[in-house]
């Protein structure tokens, strides 16, 4: 039960950022809010290489989301990034990579 709780805590910032989406209709403002939340989280935790994991997540998801949208697999009504997707989307995905990075050791550990 403790593992599940800790994994939930790792995912909670992503859930909160997703919760902001319907509340903040301006993509530029939402991106700024998400960036501030992520900067605070990365600054508070200070885990080695989290910044690199975040940047990897942003880059990888920007690439794949662009491919998905370009092939018609996905569509977005908010298209402030490259004219195809919301500006905040790869930013939130980038932090999701960090949350996953912190959750994987919990999943594979033998302890509680």
Write the DSSP assignment of 67-88 as a string of letters.
HHHHTTS---S---BTTTB-TT
What's the N-to-C CA distance of the chain in angstroms? 8
56 three-state secondary structure: helix
Residues 96, 54 contacting (CB under 8 angstroms): no
Q: Is 54 helix (H, G, I), strand (E, B) or coil?
A: helix
Supply the range of the domain harboring residue 62: 2-108
- Predicted TM-score (pTM) of this structure: 0.90
Residue 111 has a pLDDT of 58
> What H or E segment, with its residue span, contains residue 55?
helix 50-70
What stretches in the chain show pLDDT beneath 50?
none
Q: What is the predicted pLDDT for the residue at 110?
A: 73
Q: How many domains does the chain have?
A: 1
């Amino acid at each position: 039960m403790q593992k599940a709780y800790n994994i939930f805590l790792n995912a909670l910032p992503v859930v909160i950022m997703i919760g902001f989406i319907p509340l903040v209709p301006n993509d530029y403002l939402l991106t700024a809010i998400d960036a501030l939340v992520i900067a605070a989280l990365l600054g508070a935790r200070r885990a080695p290489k989290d910044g690199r994991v975040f940047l990897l997540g942003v880059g990888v998801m920007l690439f794949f989301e662009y491919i998905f949208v370009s092939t018609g697999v996905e569509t977005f009504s908010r298209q402030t990034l490259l004219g195809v997707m919301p500006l905040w989307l790869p930013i939130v995905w980038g932090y999701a990579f960090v949350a996953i990075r912190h959750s994987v050791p919990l999943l594979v550990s033998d302890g509680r």
